């Protein structure tokens, strides 16, 4: 299934996600290589909600630059053109988990989200048009935190998520993931 077909088949959970989905579809149609970081206005990124095999725990990382808890994910490498490929590689790089697989009942694309990345000295503010997938890790798998980008890496029980101040889009994606278990 092509990216545009996957986006066209995606059913948004709320008005915010519907608006983000429409924006992503328009963006993909306008750019031959939508994952290309050289697109000044923004680019596609991919991330994953990683749950334990039992579904009892969620893996989050504390992002060093943004100073908040997020799901693993990020930019495509040159030549990568599939969101799931990007998401799985990012999970491996940021968490050390190599043996993650898509949840068998999850739609190919779990959630979409558009968010602004603040300007930094080496790049202007821009958009990340994030494609989100649901991956499952074996229970007891060892974690290895990427020191350059993360302050912490941790499994959370569902009951521990509320005090983290997660943004609306991540909470929405987590609700979708939990419903599949």
Q: What pLDDT, in 10s, does the model give residues 33-85?
A: 999 999 989 999 999 999 999 999 999 999 988 899 999 999 999 999 999 99
DSSP for 67-133, please give it: TEEE-SEEPPPTT---HHHHHHHHHHHHH-----EE-TTS-S--EEEEEEEPPBTTB--EEEEEEEE
In this prediction the pTM is 0.95
What per-residue confidence (pLDDT) applies to 121?
Answer: 85
Q: How confident is the model at residue 106 (pLDDT cuts 50, 70, 90)?
A: confident
Predicted confidence (pLDDT) at residue 152 exceeds the cutoff of 90 = yes
CB 57 within 8 A of CB 106: no
Mean pLDDT, rounded, of the chain: 94
**In the CATH hierarchy, which fold is given to the domain comprising 3-180?**
Nucleoside Triphosphate Pyrophosphohydrolase (3.90.79)
* CA atoms of 87 and 83, how far apart (whole Å): 6
Of the candidates 36, 20, 19, 27, the one whose C-alpha atom is nearest the C-alpha of residue 3 is 27
* CA atoms of 56 and 126, how far apart (whole Å): 35
Predicted confidence (pLDDT) at residue 89 exceeds the cutoff of 90 = yes
Tokens of 144: 């290895």
Sequence spans of domains, the chain? 3-180
Residues ≥6 apart with Cβ < 8 Å to 158: 56, 57, 58, 178
Region label for 25, one of left (φ > 0), alpha (ψ between -120 and 50) or beta (otherwise): alpha
Predicted confidence (pLDDT) at residue 149 exceeds the cutoff of 90 = no
């Amino acid at each position: 299934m092509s990216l545009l077909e996957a986006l066209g088949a995606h059913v948004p959970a709320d008005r915010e996600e519907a608006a983000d989905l429409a924006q992503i579809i328009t963006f993909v149609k306008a750019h031959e290589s939508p994952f290309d970081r050289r697109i000044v206005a923004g680019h596609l990124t991919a991330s994953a909600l990683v749950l334990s095999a039992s579904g009892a725990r969620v893996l989050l990382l504390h992002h060093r630059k943004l100073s908040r808890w997020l799901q693993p994910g990020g930019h495509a490498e040159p030549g990568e053109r599939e969101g799931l490929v990007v998401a799985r590689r990012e999970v491996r790089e940021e968490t050390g988990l190599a043996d993650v697989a898509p949840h068998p009942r999850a739609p190919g694309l779990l959630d979409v989200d558009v968010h602004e990345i603040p300007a930094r000295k080496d790049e202007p503010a821009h958009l990340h048009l994030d494609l989100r997938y649901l991956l499952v890790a074996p229970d007891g798998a060892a974690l290895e935190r990427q020191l350059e980008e993360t302050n912490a890496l941790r499994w959370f029980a569902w009951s521990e998520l509320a005090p983290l101040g997660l943004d609306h889009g991540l909470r929405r994606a987590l609700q979708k993931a939990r419903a599949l278990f």
